[in-house]
Amino acid sequence: MKLQTERLQLREINEVHVEDILKIRSNEVINRFVKRNSPKNNYDALQFILTIKEKTRNNQTFYWGISLKDHLSLIGTICLWNFSEDRKTAEVGYELLPEYHGKGLMSEALKAVLNYGFNELRLQEILAFTNRFNENSKKLILRHDFILKDDIVDDGFPDNLAFILKK
C-alpha cells in the first residue's frame, strides 16, 4: 500500500510511528480546524494506530503516513475512509505539520491518493470536508478540482464545508 511521489513516501503507519502520530494529532495549529479527541500521550497515540491498523485490515480505511523520501519520521497523514455502502464514494482526510505548509507537499500527497482512489479502488466520487475558516485546506482541494457542494452537511460539524470530486 506504499505510494511515492517526487518528494514523498506514503506508507502504512505502525507502532514505530507512535511519537510522530502523537506530534501530528496533538498539534495545536492543526487542531484549530479539526474537532477530535487528540492523543494526550504515547498510549493514546498507540491506541489510535492500532485502531487504524484494524480498520485498514478490514478495508474500512486506507491510511498513509506521509514522510519525506529517505526519512523515517512522519510529517503528516492522509486517508480515504467513510466509504459508501456500494464502495463508489469515499472521503479524503489529511493533516500536515505546520512547518511543512506552503511547500506543495500535501498537494503531492493528495494527487497520489486521488489517483489511487479513482484508478485502483475504482471510486466514482471523493468527498472532502474542511473547516470554512481553513483557507489553506480550501485552496488545496479547489486546486485539485473539487467543487463546493452546498447541499451536503457534515453532521455534527457546522463549520465544515463539503467539496466533491467526480471521476
DSSP states along the chain: --EE-SSEEEE---GGGHHHHHHHHT-HHHHTS--S----SHHHHHHHHHHHHHHHHTTS-EEEEEEETT--S--EEEEEE---TTSSEEEEEEEE-GGGTTSSHHHHHHHHHHHIIIIIS--SEEEEEEETT-HHHHHHHHHTT-EE-TT---TT-TTEEEEEEE-
Tell me what pLDDT residue 37 has: 83
Which tens digit of pLDDT belongs to each residue from 45-61?
Answer: 999 999 999 999 999 99
Mean pLDDT estimate for the chain: 95
Tell me what pLDDT residue 156 has: 84
Give the predicted TM-score (pTM) of the model: 0.94
Tell me what pLDDT residue 97 has: 97
Which tens digit of pLDDT belongs to each residue from 79-128?
Answer: 999 999 999 999 999 999 999 999 999 999 999 999 999 999 999 999 99
Tell me what pLDDT residue 1 has: 76
